[in-house]
Structure formats: structure tokens, C-alpha cells
């Protein structure tokens, strides 16, 4: 598997800023894709090998992620493609439109992108980091918006293999990669990226201030952070720390109010932090589908009061924050 990353490693070694990370990355990738730690990984890699070789005549990444051929696939090839993709279920971020297959994911990640993208510094020619990128859906949208290089990081090997499936269907070697590591794998004070995205990550971190520091250290001076996270309604200093689960998730630590998170961003040394979007999560945006067949948001809410989670906490609200270094 490390062979796939050969081109990325060569590119990073030639970059005077990223070469420090390139020295550590091969071992980090080996650990992240260790079949002794992830027993299902050989099955996912086998699914990747079962993808049919299809030439992509049309690729759209700006308004959606759509890959098509000029001629419709024959029934056997289409079934081979569908079977390989189904072997990688659950698909959580998307949607994807792949040679006539509508891969309808748990999350309408395109809706999130529509809320985020109007507030971004122009991504043209920018080097972008996407922390907790999942299968890389937003990485493709970032490339479609003009980024020169996108590196996504996510420690889940299933998501990495899903990303590789999409990249293989795209063909060529577009400058987008997903690496099986967390943000703590980046060297300290790397200062390498023009834009760093952290979407759906902060509330999973035991130390949110450390996460903000890691994001800041990944950015060059004058870079931009894009932070999307769960929040609560409230004033400065208000934070929800669920003692048990939140919406049936056991790894949710801190849900700040908007004013509290703005204060945290200033405390972490970011300039001009602002909240640019505040949006309750609906069961139209996050739900079970044929491509994610497990419980989702409708099962995570109080059936008698959808304004509360199953545990009685305020139902999910997500907000987007932008700041500069």
C-alpha cells in the first residue's frame, strides 16, 4: 500500500517546507495501514482491486463530484463497479455520482460545502490541509475550487480506501491525497498550508485548545483556518461537556457556544475570528441510506422531542468559524 504514496512522498521531499514531514510519513502510513491493527483492511483493499478499469471522459468537481464516460457502461461492468463500492459500505461523506451510480451517503456533505465555500479566501493555487477528511469528499471540492495541492488526513483506513477508489475512477494523478494519520502526526510548527479545514473534528478532541494550536502551527503566516463544529446556543463562557454520550456518540467532549469558541480562537492566537454560519442539523442532511445502512440522526434524537438528543441534550447545531494566522 505504501507504493501508492510514492509520488506524494517524492513531491513532499522536494518541498523545502514539507520535507520534514516527508521523512516521518512512510512509517506513519505503515502504522495507519497495518493489517494487524485493522483486520478488515485486506477485504477493503480487495474491493479496491475489484474496481473495473473505466476511462473517465467527464469529471466535474466544482459543483459536485461526478465522473462519467461518454458511453453507458455495459451491465456486467456496472455491476462490478457497484459490487466493489458496496464492499466499502458504510459511505458517510458525499454524495458521489459515478458512471450512473448515485452513491447517496449518510451526510449531504455538499450542503455543508455550500454553507462554507462563500466565506473562504480564494483557494486558487493554495496548498490545503483537510483534517478529519473522511473519504475525501471535501478534498475533491477543494480541488474543484482551484487548490493546487490538497492533503487530507484521517486515521480511518476504510475512509482512505474509499478515497483511493474515487481517485482510481478519476484516473491520472490529480494533486489530492488522503493520508491515514491524525493531525498529531504533523511535525510541530510546520507552517506549510495556506488553508486548513477542520470540519466535524473539534468536539471529538479531549483538548480543544491543543487542536486549535495544532491547526495554527500547520498554517503559514497569513493562512486561514476553517473550523466547522457542533455548538450550543449561549453566551460567552458557556460550554456543554456531556458526562455520558451525546446523540449516542461516546467521544464528544466539548460543545462551546459561538461566543466561547470565538474567544478560544483569539486565545489560540488567531486573528479576526468570526462565525459565518449557524445551522441546526436536520434529518434530511444526516440519515441512513442504501450506502450507509446503520442508525443515523433520526435514531439519535428523542423520538418525542426532536429538539433534544436521545440523552436530553440540545439537538445538534453546527457552526462555521473562519480566522487567520
Separation CA 250–CA 114 (nearest Å): 29
Residue 38 is inside which H or E element, if any?
none
Judged by DSSP in three states, 270 sits in coil
What's the burial of 171, exposed, middle or buried (CB within 10 Å: 0-12/13-18/19+)?
Answer: middle
- Tell me how far apart the terminal alpha carbons of the chain are, to the nearest angstrom: 35
Percent of the chain with pLDDT over 70: 99
The pLDDT value given to residue 227 = 98
Residue-averaged pLDDT of the chain: 97
Judged by DSSP in three states, 249 sits in strand
* pLDDT (average), residues 141-161: 98
- Residue 153's pLDDT band (boundaries 50, 70, 90)? very high
The torsion defined by the Cα of 265, 318, 211 and 234, in degrees rounded to 10, comes to 50
Residue 4 in this model has a pLDDT that exceeds 90: no
Separation CA 325–CA 322 (nearest Å): 11
Residue 165 in this model has a pLDDT that exceeds 80: yes
Cα Dmax for the chain: 59
Residue 180 DSSP class: S
Judged by DSSP in three states, 211 sits in helix
Separation CA 269–CA 216 (nearest Å): 8
* pLDDT (average), residues 83-97: 98
Q: Identify each DSSP E strand in the chain by its residue range.
A: 58-60, 66-68, 93-94, 96-98, 101-103, 107-108, 127-131, 149-153, 176-179, 193-199, 219-231, 239-240, 255-256, 271-280, 301-302, 305-309, 317-324
Residue 3 in this model has a pLDDT that exceeds 80: no
Residue 245 DSSP class: -
* pLDDT (average), residues 79-88: 98
Separation CA 179–CA 185 (nearest Å): 10
The pLDDT value given to residue 211 = 98
pTM value surpassing 0.85: yes
Residue 2 in this model has a pLDDT that exceeds 90: no
* pLDDT (average), residues 184-189: 96
Read off the pLDDT of residues 310-324 as tens digits, 9 standing for 90 and up. Answer: 999 999 999 999 999
The pLDDT value given to residue 103 = 98
The partner residues of 200 in beta bridges, in order of sequence, read none
Read off the pLDDT of residues 125-139 as tens digits, 9 standing for 90 and up. Answer: 999 999 999 999 999
Residue 257 is inside which H or E element, if any?
none
* pLDDT (average), residues 71-94: 97
- Residue 94's pLDDT band (boundaries 50, 70, 90)? very high
Separation CA 289–CA 266 (nearest Å): 40
Read off the pLDDT of residues 232-291 as tens digits, 9 standing for 90 and up. Answer: 999 999 999 999 999 999 999 999 999 999 999 999 999 999 999 999 999 999 999 999
Read off the pLDDT of residues 26-55 as tens digits, 9 standing for 90 and up. Answer: 999 999 999 988 999 999 999 999 999 999
User: Which residues touch 99 (CB under 8 Å, ≥6 apart)?
Assistant: 54, 67, 68, 69, 73, 78, 81, 169
The pLDDT value given to residue 58 = 97
Judged by DSSP in three states, 63 sits in coil
Separation CA 299–CA 313 (nearest Å): 14
Percent of the chain with pLDDT over 90: 97
The pLDDT value given to residue 6 = 87
97 within 8 A of 291, measured Cβ to Cβ: no
Judged by DSSP in three states, 143 sits in helix
Amino acid at each position: 500500500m505504501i507504493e501508492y504514496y510514492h509520488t506524494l512522498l517524492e513531491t513532499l521531499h522536494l518541498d523545502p517546507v514539507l520535507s520534514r514531514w516527508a521523512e516521518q510519513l512512510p512509517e506513519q502510513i505503515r502504522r495507519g495501514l497495518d493489517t494487524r491493527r485493522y483486520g478488515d483492511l485486506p477485504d477493503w483493499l480487495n474491493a479496491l482491486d475489484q474496481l473495473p478499469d473505466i476511462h473517465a471522459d467527464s469529471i466535474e468537481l466544482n459543483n459536485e463530484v461526478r465522473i462519467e464516460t461518454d458511453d453507458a457502461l455495459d451491465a456486467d461492468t456496472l455491476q462490478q463497479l457497484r459490487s466493489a463500492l458496496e464492499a466499502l459500505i458504510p459511505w458517510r461523506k458525499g454524495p458521489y455520482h459515478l458512471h450512473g451510480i448515485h452513491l447517496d451517503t449518510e451526510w449531504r456533505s455538499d450542503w455543508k460545502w455550500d454553507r462554507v465555500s462563500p466565506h473562504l479566501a480564494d483557494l486558487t493555487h493554495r496548498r490545503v490541509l483537510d483534517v478529519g477528511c473522511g473519504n475525501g469528499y471535501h478534498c475533491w471540492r477543494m480541488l474543484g475550487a482551484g487548490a493546487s495541492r490538497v492533503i487530507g488526513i484521517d486515521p480511518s483506513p476504510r475512509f482512505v480506501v474509499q478515497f483511493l477508489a474515487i481517485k482510481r475512477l478519476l484516473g491520472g494523478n490529480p494533486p489530492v491525497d488522503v493520508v491515514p494519520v491524525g493531525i498529531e502526526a504533523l511535525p510541530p510548527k510546520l507552517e506549510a498550508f495556506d488553508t486548513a479545514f477542520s470540519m466535524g473534528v473539534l468536539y471529538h478532541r479531549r483538548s480543544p485548545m491543543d487542536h486549535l494550536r495544532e491547526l495554527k502551527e500547520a498554517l503559514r503566516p497569513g493562512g486561514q483556518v476553517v473550523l466547522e463544529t457542533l455548538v450550543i446556543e449561549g453566551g460567552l463562557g458557556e460550554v456543554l461537556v456531556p458526562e455520558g454520550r451525546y446523540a449516542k456518540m461516546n467521544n464528544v467532549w466539548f460543545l462551546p457556544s459561538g461566543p466561547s469558541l470565538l474567544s478560544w480562537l483569539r486565545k489560540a492566537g488567531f486573528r479576526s475570528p468570526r462565525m459565518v454560519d449557524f445551522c441546526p442539523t436536520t434529518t434530511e442532511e444526516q440519515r441512513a441510506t442504501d450506502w450507509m445502512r446503520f442508525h443515523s440522526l433520526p435514531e439519535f434524537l428523542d423520538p418525542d422531542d426532536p429538539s433534544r438528543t436521545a440523552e436530553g441534550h440540545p439537538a445538534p447545531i453546527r457552526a462555521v468559524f473562519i480566522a487567520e494566522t
